[in-house]
Amino acid sequence: MKKLILATGVIAITSLASGALAQESTVTGAAGGAVTGAIVGGPVGAAVGGIVGAAAGTVIDPPPREVITYVEQQPAPSASVVVEQPIVVGKPIPETVVLTPVPDHADYAYAVVNDQRVIVDPRTHTVVQIIE
């Protein structure tokens, strides 16, 4: 009976806290995985669930709408940079690709790579969004 009450309490707390944790996707994944693992497998399940949840919960948040609009409205360059690797959200593009900063949004830059406009984190060169 105590386990049922404890599990119900953990689920209720997790449900209430999930809105606050939604801002940090890795935290949400780790916390959700740990809670689920604890309910199913006790302390060992919590540890394993936290690790799996953190891996699954790592998601790139999309840039603000004004960043997307800015990148869409910029004139197309005369030539696109060509790289051999596929361009994938969450993966870095080569450091050799020259990035153009987005004004008033230091966390974002963009480039045209393989004829695609891509929004990139300028610190890591990680693709945040591909503009179709």
pLDDT means per 10 residues, the chain with 132 residues, are 44 42 43 52 58 55 93 86 93 94 96 94 96 86
**Which residues, at least 6 apart from 19, have a Cβ–Cβ distance to it below 8 Å?**
none
Q: Looking at residue 40, what is its pLDDT?
A: 55
What is the predicted pLDDT for the residue at 42?
Answer: 64
Give the pLDDT confidence score for residue 22 in this predicted structure: 40
Q: What is the pLDDT of residue 4?
A: 43
Can you give the residue ranges of every domain in the chain?
2-57, 65-131
Q: What does the pLDDT read at residue 77?
A: 78
- Look at residue 13 in the predicted model and tell me its pLDDT: 43
Look up the pTM and report it. Answer: 0.56
Q: Which two tokens stand for residue 40?
A: 């199913």
3-state secondary structure the chain: CHHHHHHHHHHHHHHHHHHHHCCCHHHHHHHHHHHHHHHHHHHHHHHHHHHHHHHHHCCCCCCCHHHHHHHHHCCCCCCCECCCCCCCCCCECCCCCCCEEECCEEEEEEEEECCEEEEEECCCCEEEEEEC
CA–CA dist 25, 61 (Å, integer): 8
